Amino acid sequence: MFATMIRRPHNSLRPPRSMRRAAMAAIVVGCGLVSWALAAPNNETARDVGRPNLVFILADDIGYGDFGCYGATKIKTPNIDRLAAEGRRFTDAHSPSAVCTPTRYALMTGEYAWRKPGTGILPGTAALIIEPGRLTVPALLKRAGYTTGVVGKWHLGLGAASPTDYNGVIQPGPREVGFDYVWLLPATGDRTPCVWIENHRVVGLDPADPIRLDYSIERGHPLSYVNGIPRIGRQIGGKAALWKDDEIADVLTSKAVAFIEKHKDRPFFLYFATHDIHVPRVPHARFRGTSRAGVRGDVVQELDWSVGEVLKVLDRLGLADHTLVMVTSDNGGVLDTNGPDHVNSGTVETNNGHLHNGPLRGNKGSPYEGGTRVPFVARWPGHVKPGTSAALICHVDLLATAAAITGQTLPHDAGPDSFNILPALLGDDRDRPCREHLVEHANRLALRVGTWKYIAPGPARKAKRAKRSVENGELYDLANDLGETTNLAAQQPERVEQMAALLQRIRAGGRSRP
Ligand code: CA
Which pLDDT tens digit goes with each residue over 158-188? 999 999 999 999 999 999 999 999 999 999 9
Q: Do residues 245 and 227 touch, judged by C-beta distance below 8 A? A: yes
Compute, in angstroms, the gap from residue 497 CA to the centroid of ligand 1.
Answer: 32
469 pLDDT exceeds 70? no
Choosing from 10, 31, 94, 155, the catalytic residue is: 155
Compute, in angstroms, the gap from residue 307 CA to the centroid of ligand 1.
Answer: 18
Q: List every span in the chain annotated with CATH 3.40.720.10.
A: 17-205+242-435
pLDDT on residue 34 = 32
Percent of the chain residues past pLDDT 90, beyond the cut: 83
Q: 251: closest CA among 217, 277, 274?
A: 274
DSSP state of 58: E
Query: Is residue 155 annotated as a catalytic residue, yes or no?
Result: yes
Give the DSSP H or E segment for 271: strand 268-273
**CB-based contacts of 209, cutoff 8 Å, min separation 6:** 237, 238, 239, 240
Q: Do residues 463 and 443 touch, judged by C-beta distance below 8 A? A: no
415 pLDDT exceeds 60? yes
Strand ranges in 380-492 using DSSP code E only, listed in sequence order: 387-394, 437-441, 445-449, 452-455, 474-477
Compute, in angstroms, the gap from residue 498 CA to the centroid of ligand 1.
Answer: 32
Q: Do residues 417 and 395 touch, judged by C-beta distance below 8 A? A: no
**CB-based contacts of 421, cutoff 8 Å, min separation 6:** 391, 393, 397, 400, 401, 434, 435
Reported as a single tens digit per residue, the pLDDT across 422-458 is: 999 999 999 999 999 999 999 999 999 999 999 999 7
Compute, in angstroms, the gap from residue 89 CA to the centroid of ligand 1.
Answer: 21
Domain 17-205+242-435 has CATH 3.40.720.10: yes
Average pLDDT value for residue range 469-480? 83
What are the strands of the beta sheet with 437-441, ordered from one edge?
A: 437-441, 445-449, 452-455, 474-477
Compute, in angstroms, the gap from residue 477 CA to the centroid of ligand 1.
Answer: 27
Compute, in angstroms, the gap from residue 364 CA to the centroid of ligand 1.
Answer: 8
- Measured in whole angstroms, how far is the alpha carbon of residue 429 from the centre of its chain? 22
Q: List every span in the chain annotated with CATH 3.30.1120.10.
A: 444-509
pLDDT class of 497 with cuts at 50, 70, 90: very high
Q: What is the mean pLDDT of the chain?
A: 89
Choosing from 10, 94, 100, 356, the catalytic residue is: 100
* pTM score, whole prediction: 0.89
Give ∠ CA 173-176-177 in degrees, rounded to 5. 95
Q: Which residues pair with 213 in a beta bridge?
A: 235
- CATH value of 444-509 in 3.40.50.11030, 3.40.50.2300, 3.30.1120.10, 3.40.50.300: 3.30.1120.10
42 pLDDT exceeds 60? no
